[in-house]
Amino acid sequence: MPVLLGQLLIFFTKNKFFPFSIVYFILFLSANSPKFPMKTLIGLLLTLSFVSTGLAQELTLIKNRKSDFTIIIPEKPTIEEIKGAKVLQHYLFEISGAKLPVVRDLGLPLMNEILIGKVNRAETAFLPYEKMGKDGIYIGNNGKQLILTGGPKKGVEYAVYTFLEKYLDCKKYTSTFEVVPQKTIKLPLIADLQVPDFSFREVFYHDAYTPEFMAWHKLHSHTKRGEDPAEWGHWVHTFHNFLNPEEYGESHPEYFSFYDGKRHPGLVPSWDGKSVQPESQLCLTNPEVLEIVCENLQKAIDEKPDALYWSVSQNDNVNYCQCEHCAALDAKYAAYPPEEKMYATHSGQYPALGMGSMLSFVNKVAERFPDKIISTLAYQYTRVPPKDIVPRKNVNIMLCSIESTRNEPMESGDPDFSNDLKGWGKITDNILVWDYNIQFANLLAPFPNLRTLQPNISFLRNNNVSAVFAQGNIQSGGESAEIRAYLLAKLLWDPDLDVAKELEGFWKAFYGKAAPYIKNYSDLLHANNQGFTGRKMSIFGSPKEETDSFLSSELLLQYNHLFDQAEKAVSRNPEHLRRVKSARLPVTFAMLEIIKEKEAANWKTYHDGKGEKYKLPKEVSTLLYDLYYNCLETGVSRLSEWHTTPKEYLENYDLVENP
């Protein structure tokens, strides 16, 4: 069937008397066949674009600041269709100087049209919208019309931004930096259907949450960041939201975890030292717990009826219930003996086989809310997939890669996690992976993981993962923040992206004449972060742990030499110079941390203010104030997740514990 359709397309499109709409009708019929594969459909569309020489010619959209084209939106346009039209109008003007009119469809086709969304035309009526999902896109040029459309959520907007980037060479590298070329606009024949591999794509970076950056790069948010409506009612670690120990702890200790011979319904200090959190989990086999959780979940849904995803997930601790009934479920559904799957924390090791009682409980919750997706964590003690029980269709598994090394791709560098992911992928296709992409303890530390981003995201795509939360730095600034956020955004839409090409384009545009030196620094840093057997680059590590690899004294000298050259190359361009100084901050920070590790014992300043004030060596003091000043100049707000401002780092750098 596909071969025959391809032959028909070639015949029809070479016959200039054959109506173009008939070809779209053939595509419509093929796309609506349940056995018709997506790749074949895309192939036919591409065939259409390349063989249509008899009917469709190259389209000149704008020339010499003039255009005969009109932007057409449907008679009753959606907000997304209006936005898409206005965005296109704006950028076409920026590129060419021609401002095209935007008009509503009056039912009669014009001579030269740009169709935005579901305009009432034969050319759009037969497009395979059902294949696009909620935010897939279609870009078409049949020689007489340009078509920009997509799925019902934000597909139209996404199509416009993709058209601007792919066909007009516009780039949105950061929230504040874009490249818009000035040129005549000529378009080849186009039939470009794109359907993302991941239905949910979030890049958790401060700079990635501006509305246009999110729309340009087709990103989502689990909150209302940007202009994306929140699909999530509750996000993560939610047991206490539905059954609070403050309310039930004293009166019903049986609702909470049993371990060490007793129930634990209390509260303990939180990680920030300013609040409290539950000391344990819920008893998941207590029927009253199920009723209370469902009752409070319904109340939450009533307040946010449009939210689709609702997290019913463990609190942020490993103190799960080991009562007779919960332990029995965990043992029943455990795919391994406990000693074969242990989760290591700073305080010890725990069996990672607690998903039996968890999934049994969550499935029961999901059964009561069939029109919602109930998300639960596969994290720490629940990470390992169970046997003989599978998630309901409306249960989402949020799998966390917190333990994975970051100097190698997770598939090869963390076989435990990769095997768990493969196991989950065999029993469900409703998986969100929470991936970690920075060094949280030291946000400015050099963290050469850019070469692992693509293999990691491809690995997720290949194992039934449907959604990705790529956690970066929610604080402003940070090591390689701009390029990492950009690459993550691009890869979540297209895991097969040409990363080398994107890096080259970014360096050149963002750093100007300093680009070769920044590239050499990045290449040198990454080259020395590979091939160290048994070494693990952790998201909670520090520069002092890398002095035998990519932060040796010899390499730090080379890095500084490259940055000296980079600064000299852009000394007359203030913006490029500011960006180079920002890129240099991680090297300065690493030097300060390594020096402090070696010399702190000689410094006589104490936390309580006692002792003789020790004067820092001149070269150390210079580095410290350079770091502080450039942090302020480049917008760095924190040096560690949630704490340590540049001023605090400056003031406390030479403090050591009072002996």
Q: Domain ends where: 394, 409, 430?
A: 394
165/36 same-domain check: yes
Separation of alpha carbons 14 and 177, rounded Å: 44
Q: Contact, 273 vs 264, CB < 8 A?
A: no
Question: How many domains does the structure of the chain reveal?
Answer: 3
DSSP 491: H
Flag whether 225 is in a domain: no
160/243 same-domain check: no
Q: Which structural domain range is residue 548 located in?
A: 512-656
523/619 same-domain check: yes
Q: Domain ends where: 374, 394, 414?
A: 394
Cβ neighbors of 358 (< 8 A, separation 6 or more) are 284, 314, 376, 382
Separation of alpha carbons 473 and 483, rounded Å: 12
Flag whether 409 is in a domain: no
What integer pLDDT is reported at residue 15 of this predicted model? 41
What integer pLDDT is reported at residue 39 of this predicted model? 44
What integer pLDDT is reported at residue 223 of this predicted model? 87
Flag whether 133 is in a domain: yes
DSSP 147: E
Instruction: Give kind and range of the element (H or E) at residue 396.
Output: strand 395-400
Q: Contact, 101 vs 72, CB < 8 A?
A: no
374/522 same-domain check: no
Mean pLDDT by 10 residues, the chain (659 residues): 40 41 49 47 46 59 93 96 98 97 92 95 89 95 94 96 98 98 93 97 96 96 76 95 97 98 95 86 99 99 95 96 98 91 73 93 99 97 96 98 93 94 98 98 98 98 98 96 99 98 98 99 94 76 95 98 99 98 98 91 58 74 96 96 94 67
Q: What CATH number has the domain bearing residue 137?
A: 3.30.379.10
What integer pLDDT is reported at residue 9 of this predicted model? 44
- Looking only at Cα atoms, what is the longest distance across the chain? 94
What integer pLDDT is reported at residue 227 of this predicted model? 62
What integer pLDDT is reported at residue 13 of this predicted model? 43
What Å distances lie between residue 232 and 236, 307, 379, 633, CA to CA?
10, 5, 19, 36
Cβ atoms within 10 Å, residue 396: 24
137/15 same-domain check: yes
Q: Domain ends where: 394, 410, 425?
A: 394
First to last CA, the chain: 81
Flag whether 649 is in a domain: yes
363/280 same-domain check: yes
Write out the two tokens for 364.
Answer: 């029961």
Flag whether 449 is in a domain: no
188/252 same-domain check: no
632/574 same-domain check: yes
Flag whether 218 is in a domain: no
384/247 same-domain check: yes
What Å distances lie between residue 251 and 265, 278, 659, CA to CA?
10, 16, 46
Burial of 127 (0-12, 13-18, 19+ CB in 10 A): buried
Flag whether 200 is in a domain: no
184/125 same-domain check: yes
Flag whether 499 is in a domain: no
Question: How far is Cα of residue 305 from the mean position of the Cα atoms in its chain?
Answer: 25
Burial of 250 (0-12, 13-18, 19+ CB in 10 A): exposed
84/139 same-domain check: yes
28/141 same-domain check: yes
Residue with tokens 């493969």: 422
